[in-house]
């Protein structure tokens, strides 16, 4: 990860960019293969929002430079954030699209999306502690949007199962 084992905030932001990008790909693929018109529209909307998050994180990364986060031992945050990202929903672009295509139905696809949003919330909550107050405000806004995604998806899953 970072040189000398020191954790770099910009590296975490890059992880967030990749996860949001893969989420966008998942939602775009889901919009194409969903059977429910309601899910198709929701997936299109979520893809647009994930693209906005990707752009916001790209701007944050470009602003950050490479400040180090405080650690109690060298590599602490790198190890922790790697552990978080090892459980990420979409390991790569191909996996994101394949998960949508092979979901096994609309309800299963929404369950995958819920998992993605939960993982993203956890990651963003941890990332927020590593950035400046100004940048933390932006991360908080994205956390609020991800929370709304989670609520919307849970409601959609309920609607699809009724």
pLDDT tens per residue, the chain (162 residues)? 333 333 467 777 888 888 899 999 999 999 999 999 999 999 999 999 999 999 998 988 888 765 456 677 777 766 776 676 666 667 788 888 998 999 999 999 999 999 989 988 988 888 888 777 878 888 888 899 989 999 999 999 999 998
- The model's pTM is 0.79
**How large is the angle between the packed helices 9-33 and 37-64, nearest 10 degrees?**
160
Domains detected in the chain: 3-161 (1.20.1260.10)
With beta carbons less than 8 A apart as the criterion, state whether 8 and 68 touch.
Answer: yes
């Amino acid at each position: 990860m970072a040189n000398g084992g020191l954790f770099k905030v910009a590296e975490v932001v890059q992880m967030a960019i990749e996860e949001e990008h893969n989420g966008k790909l998942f939602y775009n693929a889901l919009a194409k293969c969903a059977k429910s018109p309601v899910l198709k529209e929701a997936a299109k909307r979520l893809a647009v929002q994930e693209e906005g998050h990707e752009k916001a994180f790209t701007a944050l990364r470009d602003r950050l430079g490479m400040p180090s986060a405080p650690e109690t031992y060298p590599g602490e945050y790198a190890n922790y954030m790697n552990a978080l990202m090892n459980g990420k929903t979409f390991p790569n672009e191909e996996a994101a699209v394949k998960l949508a295509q092979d979901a096994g139905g609309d309800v299963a696809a929404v369950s995958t999306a819920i998992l993605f949003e939960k993982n993203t919330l956890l990651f963003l909550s941890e990332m927020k502690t590593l950035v400046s107050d100004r940048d933390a405000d932006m991360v908080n806004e994205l956390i609020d949007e991800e929370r709304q995604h989670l609520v919307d998806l849970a409601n959609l899953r309920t609607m699809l199962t009724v």
